[in-house]
Structure 1
């Protein structure tokens, strides 16, 4: 059975476009820019075609076009105009909209076409910072709001991971140029949100550091093993949901007691890391607010 979500409420449209549901209703009533479908009980809903249209209208509106003007355009003219006005100023929003549509339709070709178009003008690092990071932040919100399913999130995350793997492999053959410390990157036990950690690994290698990438759900005992082989270690822990904030303090204390020594430290990053008590933060335990701050540090 095909369970792909292909109908959307007006609240879904608000979440996907950033345009308030009240505004969408006004646009519909005053300008007839959308024609919602109706259930047998007269509840409005929208199909994928309607979603694509409102995403395009949102881009035109953000670019300065008035809704009154957009409403007078023939339906087939809107996507043509969107393509014509794509510029350095608007390419980010257009790409994010295209990636959203690729996600909603589970459309790998649209993802690849959008990515390759971006790559003609931008580096991989620019694409990740300017497009993928805000895209994943939006996807996190859409998942919490139940506009998308976990399957949508996994689909788009996997495709982004593929690009990370390829770009990381391309630079891994370079010999490290910095040897003052070595970075060990891992996700704590039961943590599986790996995308951010993978990008940090790419940035560290790009910056000339040697990295040891351990990946998902790493117990403390595995971190102890690393100490047998290397000195001057910076452990990078990416915590999105685990350890739960209620036991996060205990986890940090265990790290200090069991892992850290005179020449090692832990850098925390990820949404959950912000719950680490200020009293536990010192020269050995550092928390980064976001990926941008981390990259600036290295």
Structure 2
């Protein structure tokens, strides 16, 4: 493991582990489970070892061990007990904790070893839905609360993206279904968060659909040329940060006028920004989805 020193406030630990600060204080005082350093103004400060220990304690507690019993375990016994339970418990919870540690330490070896263990018993799609997607959602919240830096988020995103691209590469030689439909996957201007869209591309390719992945920050006008090459087009886009909420209805209206020029053309949308729009009225050939899984199931 990389020896990168990281200090955490009690609020950071609450955000990273999901354990309330009040509970952490009780565990410290009653069971002596953590020994924080304190600043000159008596503010708690935790090191990386404390964060890792708290993740392990949380895992054991969530899998049925009472805190009083965990407190009786020695420092070296806790990770041993975690490995023992992880072998028969919900592997996703343990994997998410391990990937959090990999992110905090910028530890590539831990990331790949965790993934290697998962892929031995799960499909890549299962790993994405049950481990990567919940982790990415959580990481997005951590970044917004300043618990982690953009470097941490980028480290995790890049490694997950590499796995998606690797799996797409493995199925590129599959012949598309002879139904004539072409799925054009793109992100709107200024949008750069492409992991969800990449995974949709992988899922549709796996199902035998012809896909064209255009990626991030694609000007709307640049998509018009595609109608010259393909008759039956389904556009798919993912709004994570852009367009701004107040501009989404206008964007969809402009898209409809500019690109929905054939009766067969469809537009599918998803992403957290859409959830913020109230009373969005759409024509029948434009649909929104609240999850990747629901969108993929329509194909």
**TM-score, structure 1 as length reference:** 0.96
1:162 deviation in Å? 0.4
**Contact 1:249–1:277 under 8 Å retained in 2:** no
CA deviations on 1:149-191 (whole Å, 9 max, x unpaired) are 1111011000000000100000111001252421000000000
- Corresponding residue for residue 10 of structure 1: 10
CA deviations on 1:68-89 (whole Å, 9 max, x unpaired) are 0100101000001101111453
1:230 deviation in Å? 0.4
**Contact 1:274–1:287 under 8 Å retained in 2:** no
Could you tell which deviates more after superposition, 76-85 or 274-283?
274-283
**Contact 1:184–1:234 under 8 Å retained in 2:** yes
- Corresponding residue for residue 267 of structure 1: 268
Q: Report the Cα distance in structure 1 between the residues aligned to 2:268 and 2:292, rounded to whole angstroms.
A: 12
Rate the CA distance shift 1:93–1:178 in 2: closer, same or farther, 3 A. Answer: farther
1:279 deviation in Å? 4.9
Q: Report the Cα distance in structure 1 between the residues aligned to 2:277 and 2:253, rounded to whole angstroms.
A: 11
What is the Cα-based RMSD across aligned positions, in Å? Answer: 1.3
**Contact 2:5–2:48 under 8 Å retained in 1:** no
Q: Report the Cα distance in structure 1 between the residues aligned to 2:54 and 2:178, rounded to whole angstroms.
A: 49
**Contact 1:55–1:97 under 8 Å retained in 2:** yes
Q: Aligned to 2:46, what secondary structure does the other structure show?
A: strand
Q: Report the Cα distance in structure 1 between the residues aligned to 2:120 and 2:14, rounded to whole angstroms.
A: 31
- Corresponding residue for residue 121 of structure 2: 121
1:90 deviation in Å? 2.2
Is the aligned partner of 1:71 residue 2:71? Answer: yes
Q: Aligned to 2:126, what secondary structure does the other structure show?
A: helix
**Contact 1:239–1:271 under 8 Å retained in 2:** yes
- Corresponding residue for residue 39 of structure 1: 39
Q: Aligned to 1:218, what secondary structure does the other structure show?
A: coil
Rate the CA distance shift 1:235–1:159 in 2: closer, same or farther, 3 A. Answer: same
**Contact 2:99–2:111 under 8 Å retained in 1:** yes
Is the aligned partner of 1:280 residue 2:281? Answer: yes
1:140 deviation in Å? 0.8
- Corresponding residue for residue 234 of structure 1: 234
Q: Report the Cα distance in structure 1 between the residues aligned to 2:238 and 2:189, rounded to whole angstroms.
A: 11
Q: Aligned to 1:211, what secondary structure does the other structure show?
A: strand
Q: Report the Cα distance in structure 1 between the residues aligned to 2:258 and 2:105, rounded to whole angstroms.
A: 47
Q: Report the Cα distance in structure 2 between the residues aligned to 1:285 and 1:106, rounded to whole angstroms.
A: 41
1:274 deviation in Å? 2.6
1:273 deviation in Å? 2.1
Gaps of 5+ in 1: none
- Corresponding residue for residue 160 of structure 2: 160
Q: Which structure's residues are more often strand, by fraction? A: 1
1:142 deviation in Å? 0.7
Q: Report the Cα distance in structure 1 between the residues aligned to 2:88 and 2:229, rounded to whole angstroms.
A: 47
**Contact 2:200–2:292 under 8 Å retained in 1:** yes
- Corresponding residue for residue 137 of structure 1: 137
**Contact 1:248–1:275 under 8 Å retained in 2:** no
State the 4+ residue runs in structure 1 displaced beyond 6 angstroms: none
